[in-house]
Structure 1
Amino acid sequence: MESGLPVSELRDKAAEATEKGDPNWWTFSREYMAVRWRTDAAKTREGLADSLATVAIAMAGEGPKAPTPEEVRLAVRWGVVPGHVGEEPPVELRAAAQWLADNSLPLSALEDSRVIRDVHYRLAFRLDDSPAAAETYKRRRRGFNTAIEYAIQEGYLEANPLAGVKRPGSNGSGIVDPRVLVNEVQGRQLLTAVSYVGSVHRNRGRRLVAFFACLLYSATRPAEAVGLTLPQCHLPESGWGTLTLKETRPVAGKKWTDSGERHDRRGLKSRERDKDRPVPIPPVLVALLREHVAEFGTAPDGRLFANERGGLLGSSSYWRVWQEARELALPPDKVASPLARRPYDLRSTCITNWLRAGLPVAEVARRAGNSPEVIHRNYAGCLDDSEEDNNRKIERVMGWMT
């Protein structure tokens, strides 16, 4: 439709462009993913695949038999896995994969302002044209940028075509919304509600009380708590204890991990593989962990938190328990609000409480496994609950107090 050329000639031109060092997006995506695969974590692989597939929608080419955006996304996510090279795509993706191999736009098309605007739109919006979450946009754009850096390095492009293109209103991404934070009473009520989820025989909720408590009282990331083992826990009979965090077990999916399991096995975030992170834990968490071990024991490999069969705890499992617990613990208006909507919001609550308690930002960052810059940037808006105290200080200085 755009060029007026027959399909056969377009295919010839695409093959010629590839030979000249201007591969189409389908070919380039598979080449780039093969380069990154050996050194990247499973979760990183999945994120890159999502970025490449999102851009592929804008780079798919046009025609009466063009695949739908959803078909493009699925075909690219399948096609970029190096283990699928030489294999026939699944029947439902075969037509879309062949179309993309024949008709995807070449990398040089990214120099066209119309194309790069469409690419940017795809990065920032979902398939239903609703805005993507800020973190989703950042992750997709980061993946696209790393792919373009590789293209520049290989001589396919001279510059990043997306440089200077910004998403309106994206500066606040990553900042914690104060509305998600729970107070002390709400935190206790939510943990109690978790224990009521599921039947007595299955203990679906009870076996996760201490899991969520790790997020609330020690700012543990969910993937860190999934991999927590008993030898990593110092749990004295009284007083403060310590968790020595050593690895994460993020869910990525079988096709993205080297082991073929759903969970990857990685070191701590932003740290070398052999580095750990000791985190002091308060007596309330020590008691909950001791009770958990006494009642449920550990998995065969020493992990504290397992599913009902002793396997790795999946994110969908603890997510469902959490949503049911919110409905038990909170009034209807709070259930509909952002309050503790995600288990991760408990970690944000813990970090905020440390800051409010007066801990130095550097120490909060060390315990949480973040940089001080991230703590400053993301939690500044959560420390404004002292407005009344600040107002009183102003009244004293101005002489307004009676």
Structure 2
Amino acid sequence: MKVEHKASKGSVGVESFQERLRLRLPRHLYNGKQKYLTLGMADNPENRKLAEAKAKQIESDIAFERFDPTLAKYKPQTHLTLVAPITEGQQQTTLIELWDKYTDYKSKTLSVTTINKDYKKTKNHIASLPTQKLSEAVIIRDFLLKTVTPNATKRVLTQLKACCDWAIDSELISSNPFVGMSQKVKVAINDETINLFNKGEQEQIITAFERNTYYSHYTSYVRFLFMTGCRTSEAIGLTWGHINSNLTLITFCEAVVEGNRKDTKTHKSRKFPVNQSLKELLVSIKPSNPNADTPVFKAPKGGLIDAHNFLNRAWKTVLSELNIPYRPQYHTRHTFITNCLEAGISVVQVAKWVGNSPEIIMKHYAGTIRQVQVPEL
């Protein structure tokens, strides 16, 4: 560590720590504890001038009793963080160590699927970072921006901030270097995210599955997705015990994600009324005396459908043979919701059928509804 000068009482020192500039604040401001203000700038002549100017501003505020101990006043557009020093012989906790402890803590309240899927994905990002030091949060941010999408960067930084918040509460660290970082990552809004299948495309897809030598087994499953708008995991988790005896009402109350049976995404069950077309489909596939726990839709060799295999093999293969723009299978849900709204069904009712809130329906689907003629009033 290179110290530019020894600061007298009330003075702010400029230091280079691991080739990054920081300011050493007077101890008396924090009850004798040594605190630093990281500037997030490389140590070069131009940045040193900026650091010295910032130090003089803080010194002036101290002298005239207008110093802001939260340091919010001294933060430029780039990220600044108040950090505690690492004392001689003290080993800095690495980011991946904190994440493992945070994951263990969260595993007590989150589902196994969430831990194995979402938290493992974040750990993989952490493992690929060029540094595990909390003091180099800016380097971590810049690396993510260069190597992954803005969306992924924003998600990872949000998770790291939450992890460090927990670590502070758990007295594992004294400050959070990721505060405010994710909000500054600009993410482009894609208005074309929801791209519906029109009626003709739906018929082409269903017919293509019926005629496919390898994947015709999934035809009823695909029809069901289009006809109910349910989530993939809910269709896979549906058993005959979830449908009443006269096939007029479906209860979506369970889901299967990566082979694990759990409750629905919203942790709530919902009733779905069966119309005539859907009833005919259920009649055509119902076994003579099914057990209550028998899946309605099975894999070709029995057992539960693997959502990833279906998407990457069956769905992509079948759609690649059609002269229509490719969209993931989940767009069957988008299509059902939008068709219901265009048919004049209320947002509240559609939300109940598909297990969303009315607010989510309006936010994501209102803009996809085709314009209709203004009525005569």
2:175 aligned residue? 158
Count of residue pairs the alignment pairs up: 292
1:53 aligned residue? 124
Q: How does 1:215-364 map to 2 (within 5 A)?
A: 215-234=225-244, 236=246, 241-251=248-258, 263-271=259-267, 275-294=268-287, 301-319=293-311, 320-328=313-321, 330-331=322-323, 334=324, 337-338=325-326, 341-364=327-350
Q: Write the distance in 1 (CA, Å) between the matches of 2:178 and 2:161.
A: 9
Structure-2 change in CA distance of 1:32 and 1:292 (3 Å): same
RMSD of aligned alpha carbons:
3.2
Q: Deviations over 1:268-288 (max 9, x none)?
A: 1122xxx42111232222212
2:51 aligned residue? none
Q: Deviations over 1:100-133 (max 9, x none)?
A: xxxx31x3433xxx335326526xx53xxxx36x
Contact 1:230 1:304 in 2 (8 A): yes
Equivalent AA in structure 2 for residue 314 of structure 1:
D
Equivalent AA in structure 1 for residue 237 of structure 2:
G
Q: Deviations over 1:76-97 (max 9, x none)?
A: xxxxxxxxxxxxxxxxxxxxxx
Q: How does 1:368-383 map to 2 (within 5 A)?
A: 368-383=354-369
Question: 143, 156, 168: which one pairs with 2:186?
Answer: 168
Equivalent AA in structure 1 for residue 340 of structure 2:
W
Question: 114, 118, 136: which one pairs with 1:109?
Answer: 136
Equivalent AA in structure 2 for residue 327 of structure 1:
S
Structure-2 change in CA distance of 1:120 and 1:306 (3 Å): same
Structure-2 change in CA distance of 1:38 and 1:189 (3 Å): same
1:386 aligned residue? 371
Equivalent AA in structure 2 for residue 121 of structure 1:
L
By percentage of residues, which structure has more strand? 2
1:37 aligned residue? 107
Report the CA distance between 1:47 and its aligned residue. Answer: 0.7
Report the CA distance between 1:343 and its aligned residue. Answer: 0.9
Q: Write the distance in 1 (CA, Å) between the matches of 2:233 and 2:144.
A: 31
Unmatched segments (≥5 aa) in structure 2: 1-16, 20-85
Q: SS where residue 321 of structure 1 aligns?
A: helix
Q: Deviations over 1:298-340 (max 9, x none)?
A: 6894111121232221013321211222134x31xx2xx34xx
Tell me which structure has the larger Cα radius of gyration: 2
Taking structure 2 as the reference length, what is the TM-score of the superposition? 0.68
Q: Percent identity?
A: 23
Equivalent AA in structure 2 for residue 268 of structure 1:
T
Structure-2 change in CA distance of 1:298 and 1:16 (3 Å): farther
Equivalent AA in structure 2 for residue 267 of structure 1:
D
Report the CA distance between 1:378 and its aligned residue. Answer: 0.8
By percentage of residues, which structure has more helix? 1
Structure-2 change in CA distance of 1:197 and 1:27 (3 Å): same
